[in-house]
Chains A and B, each alone.
Chain A
Amino acid sequence: MATVLKTPPAADAARAEIEHYIEASQNKSLLRFITCGSVDDGKSTLIGRLLYDSKMLFDDQLATLRSDSRKAGAAGETLDLALLVDGLAAEREQGITIDVAYRFFATARRKFIVADTPGHEQYTRNMVTGASTADLAVILIDARKGVLTQTRRHSCLVHLLGIHSLVLAVNKMDLVGYDQARFDEIVADYRAFARDAGIEAFTAIPVSGREGANVMTRSAAMPWYRGPALLEHLETVAVEPRTAAEAPFRMAVQWVNRPDQNFRGYAGRIASGRVRVGDEVAVLPAGTRSTVKRIVTFDGDLAEAGSGQSVTLTLADHIDCSRGDLIAAPDAAAEPAVRIEANLVWMAEEAMVPHRSYWLKIGTRTVSASLGAPDAVLDVDTMAERPAASLGLNQIGRVGIDLDRPVPAIRYADDRRLGGFILIDKLTHKTVAAGLVRDFPAGGGRRVGAPRSEAGEILWIGGGETTDRAARAARLAERLKAQGRHVFLLDEAALNGLVHDLGEGEPARAEIVRRAREVALLMTRAGVHVVLALDAREDEARPGRLIAPGEDDGEGADQWVI
């Protein structure tokens, strides 16, 4: 019998075993979490412990860790696991911004992406960035210190960002003698705070990152604790909150795929819910209806697809649908809104300028937005509101925002992927704020016949001869006035008094453009639209729009002020 076998059975079995292992480990789930706490809470040691004990280190990393531990470690001859994640000194020397670092580890069941926000500076900004993609937050408490102001701040931010899965890791239990009474006291303190802050549930785990107690496995040092070890909990906790799984189907269209006349597909990543071939859908904000004809992927058509998947849909009807639109289940059809009320987390060094115009990117749609003065600023330590005129770096405020084009009205509380937005400075292109849609105030629908944004726009009529520009500018200004808008025509004649001290040539030309832009900017802040008859380069014209000859003819004028 044995002679008919070409390979020894042991080799075959081994190969089958390898393949079985690989197949099994392909079916892990993914959990993204954020760790909140400072170096003093032992956060780096705890993350280092997770990386080390889950064996996600390569030999070269381990060799480096050994030599680093001998050189700089605080733990003597043993390995200082904090060194695995602390690259801070080196980064400071290189002048690299230390904000959010992402770490990776995996177990047999799950892959983990950890957003780690080191440092104390700009903590709010960094934590909000890390929390925006996290499914769960681990909030660290030093068992010796208990619930601190920063514990409350971290919890409030995490709660604001819509993370419902919270772990309270009471660390350094070894330093309080693994005392149950101390742990119970801290948990009771936190429970009282959580109730007031509106935090519905949390899981408290007593751990010691340094000793590895209750990190990977339950520790014999704390027999009184009957819950799961930290990693056990992270491995088994539900990744997706029930609300997202049950949410109606929604997908923002990223790109229209048109390889030829016969195919028109809408590519996007499904934000929530599920979609099946034959489902009726609405295209928002227009509200047009159609049905899903195919769900196309490289691996073949699907009968259905769900939240998190990147797919390409084709529709049964030839309807208007393009990038920025939302394809959604008809019962989830959100009203179009041009006014939103949001929580803004200001992230730029430069303070917010009320009534100035910013780009707002929400879903796959980018619109022009004008911010009102903040209605209130949030104290992140207490979540209490107080009045303020503007928002500075790391401040969170409630702000009303006017949009130049409608977006589907979806609240952040209902959909984290589609109810969050970023604000972009039109001049520097920096991301200046993160926004969370709270509500759509009454009267936020289309206000026909009235100017739709509080700030004006600057329209540069460029190209051609001076006299042509003046004539084009005058025509455009008239048309806009006829629509009931406040318009000021700033042509070269009107500018004369402002620039008569300047001569000829390039430096003078650039200075004329600069002065004209500054004047126009002041007027836009008063809500006036400025039509500028002056040639400029595109980069000089920003934040205004440069309109070349031909683009402002006839009906086309309407597109310039919206």
Chain B
Amino acid sequence: MNAPASFARHRITHLEQLEAESIEIMREVVAETDRPVMLYSVGKDSAVMLHLARKAFFPAPPPFPLLHVDTTWKFRDMYALRDRVAAESGMELIVYRNPEAERLGINPFDHGGLHTDLWKTEGLKQALDLYGFDAAFGGARRDEEKSRAKERIFSFRSASHRWDPKNQRPELWSLYNTKKGPKETIRVFPLSNWTELDIWQYIYAESIPIVPLYLAAPRPTVERDGLLLMVDDDRFPLREGEVPVERSVRFRTLGCYPLTGAVESEAETLAEVIQEMLVATTSERQGRAIDRDGGGASMERKKREGYF
């Protein structure tokens, strides 16, 4: 692995630049905060974030724990990968479940929005307070929606975890102001400048382990309220007349299984997922698609011509 070919060129690729920037952000947090933690949700963005953390502090293990704010309703595959990956990284894994939500038996079937509020939002605040973390890495990206486009990389929270959007600090060059009051905390988003496509390309290039649910496979599903839900365990209460049907599906995002819709897909490999994604983003487009170096547009054309 000495001096791989990519470094012989005197120019680094967009993925290498994104990687270097995320690593720089993580090191800055470790150098300037007292007790950082990485929020680990077991999804693809978390997978990339954890991989970057291992790179940032190599040969040392990342000098902070992983925190999984659990709801007890994640897919079984997610719990399996979480435990395996945490063990491989040499990092401490803290699993926090809001004791109140646990006591009340809060679940997505009976409690609607309360499920997310109590398990996730409240759970996260409780965990941060309990362990005294003053900085938490999160995997959010600016391209996720229009309203996140102006989110800061370093986002400050008051002692009561409130965010003041009117009072955000400007971020210049790569000089991050991490000064804060005694009880203030920071949320840090090292993947801010990554797009969904960057994430998939990086997972592919770096062979990062991801939950198999991102790849298509035959799975027991029911169609409910416009969502294709997977019956992941026997806690799933079937409504009258509902019979789980085996469909070839995959997931674009992962969360609590009763709240996460699947898409029908035949993409069984990472390359096929990326291809499906590229085609999905081009399928609806008309207009002047320029077609130069065999990019997305030529891909689409080839598909139309029955090449695949």
Contact = CB atoms under 8 A, between A and B. Distances in A.
Given A53-B288, A57-B281, A323-B31, A417 B173 contact: yes
Looking at A53, A133, A431, the one whose CB has the most chain B CB atoms below 10 A away is: A431
A55 interface: yes
A356 B182 CA distance: 22
Given A17-B307, A95-B166, A364-B31, A539 B284 contact: no
Interface in B262-308: 269, 271-272, 274-275, 280-285, 287-290, 292-297, 299, 302, 307-308
Contact of A359 (B179, B198, B288, B307): B179
B182 A269 contact: no
A55 B281 contact: yes
A299 B27 CA distance: 18
Nearest to B7: A302
B150 A429 contact: no
A293 to B, nearest CB: 14
Interface stretch (A24-32, A144-152, A284-292): A24-32
A52 B281 CA distance: 11
6 contacts: A101-B149, A111-B14, A129-B171, A255-B31, A297-B58, A424-B177
A113 interface: yes
Contact of B11 (A26, A29, A58, A113): A29
Given A22-B204, A56-B281, A429 B181 contact: yes
Contact of B174 (A55, A103, A216, A269): A269
A481 interface: no
B102 interface: no
Given A59-B283, A312-B58, A431-B172, A108 B293 contact: yes
B273 to A, nearest CB: 10
Interface of B: 1-4, 7, 10-21, 23-24, 27-28, 30-31, 54-61, 142-143, 146-147, 149-150, 165-175, 177, 179-182, 192-193, 195, 197-198, 201, 204-205, 269, 271-272, 274-275, 280-285, 287-290, 292-297, 299, 302, 307-308
Contacts of B28: 254, 364
A16 B27 CA distance: 38
A245 B2 contact: no
Nearest to A270: B20
A310 B56 contact: yes
A59 B280 contact: yes
Nearest to B28: A254
A53 B281 contact: no
Interface residues of A, number: 102
A194 B197 CA distance: 39
Contacts of A312: 58
Nearest to A14: B308
Nearest to A58: B281
Contacts of B197: 106
Nearest to B195: A104
A75 interface: no
Contacts of B172: 128-129, 132-133, 420, 422, 431, 434
B271 A18 contact: yes
A257 interface: yes
B1 to A, nearest CB: 3
Contacts of B10: 245, 274, 306
Given A95-B165, A128-B172, A422 B308 contact: no
9 tightest CB-CB pairs across the interface, nearest first?
A300-B1, A108-B295, A259-B60, A30-B14, A108-B293, A310-B23, A298-B55, A111-B14, A298-B58
Contact of A87 (B20, B147, B287): B147
B179 A257 contact: no
A15 B267 CA distance: 11
A418 to B, nearest CB: 9
Interface in A19-40: 19, 21-22, 24-30
Contacts of B272: 18
Contacts of A416: 173
A328 interface: no
A22 B195 CA distance: 15
Given A259-B60, A420-B173, 6 more contacts: A27-B13, A129-B171, A267-B57, A308-B16, A309-B20, A431-B169
